[in-house]
Structure 1
Amino acid sequence: MANERTDRLQYDLSKIGTRLRALRRERSWTLEDLAERTGLSRAYLSRMEGGERQPSLSALSEVAHAYGISFSSLFVPEPEVQNGVIVRGRDAAVQRGRGLLYSRLSTSDWAFNLQPMQVVVPAERDEGEALYHHEGEQWLYVLSGKLGLNLSGEDSVLEPGDAAHFDADQQHRLTALDGRDAEIILVACAVPYLLLRSYL
C-alpha cells in the first residue's frame, strides 16, 4: 500500500512538473526569469518541473501569480473564452454507466474541479452489488426515493433531504431501496484535490 501511494504521488508530481514546464516555455521564460518573479530559487523550480520535489502550496501560489493564472490552472488549462457554464435541462443528455442513469450538469468538467450530476439509481440495478473506489471525493443529496449507501462495509439509509460527503477512495456502493428508483444530485471533486490530499 505504501509503495502504491508513493508511486501515485510520483506520477502526480511528474504530471504537475510537465505542466509547470509547459507554462514557462509558453512565455519563453528561463528558470532564472521565473526565479526572479517568484522569489524561489532556480534549483527549487528545476526540481519542481522535473517532478523531483513535492512543491509547497505557497510555492505553487507564487508560480500561479507570476504566470497571471488561477491556482487550479496550474493543473489543467483554462478555457479560452468562458466565464461560466449554463446547462439547460433539455440539453442534459441521459447516459448510462455502472448500472446508473446520469445527466451531467456541467459541460466543462475539464476546466473546473467539481463535476455535478443528476443521477438515478434504478431499483433493479445490474451492478447493484459491485463496490467501487476511485480518486477524489463525492457529495450527494437525495431528491427522491430511499438510498442505501455502503461505505467501507458500513450501511446507511438516506431519505429525501439527506446528504452524504465522503472520500471516494474508500469502497462504496449506491443502492435504491424499497423497490423504487432513487434520484440524487451527486458532485464529484477532481484535481487539484489529488495534490492537496498528499499534504494532509
Structure 2
Amino acid sequence: MDDISSTMDAIGPRLRRLRKQRDLTLTGLARTTGISVSTLSRLESGQRRATIELLLPLARELRVAMDDLIGAPETGDPRLRSKPITRNGMTLLPLTQRAGNLQAYKLIIYPKRRPRRPEVSSHEGYEWLYVLNGRLRLVLGGNDLVMGPGEAAEFDTKTPHWFGNADEHPVEVLTLFGHQGERAHLRAASSRAKKQAQGE
C-alpha cells in the first residue's frame, strides 16, 4: 500500500514538470483536456487524487505514455507504442513520446473528393518536412511548390503556409515541429472540414 500511495503522491509534481516542459499554462491545459483549472491545480499540488478518467486526457494532451505520467518502472523496451491521431483526412503518428519542445511525426494526408483550397496559417515555431511517398503541395509565403519523395523543406512557421496533397493520391511526410505546430495543423484541418460540411 505504501508503494501505491507514494506513486500516486508523485503524480502531481510529475504532471507539473511535464506541463511546464510543454510551455503550457493551467488554463491552456484545461482548455484542451476539458479538465477545470481548479482540478488541475489540485492534482498538481496533491490535494486531489488522480483517477484514470483524469489521467487519460492528460497523457494524450502531454503526449506521454501513461506509464511515464504515473511513474511506472522502466521495462527496458525501447519500442514506441504511440497511437495515431486521425482527424479530417489526416493521420498523425507520433514518433517520439518524451516531453520536449520538438516532436517528430509521420503524417499521412489523404486526398479529398473536392480539391483542397489552400488556407494559409501562421504561428510561432519552426517546421521541417520530408516527403516519404506521394507528392506534397507546399504554399509558403509567395511560393507554391510541389515536392516529391526524398525532398525536404524547412521554414519559420510565422511565414503564412499550407501543405496538402498535390494530386489525388495520399502523401506521406516526416515532420518535426513543436506542440503549437501540431495543434495549429489539426485545428486548420478541422476548420476546413467544417466549411466543407457547410458547403462553402
Q: TM-score normalized by structure 1?
A: 0.47
Greater CA radius of gyration, 1 or 2? 1
Q: TM-score normalized by structure 2?
A: 0.47
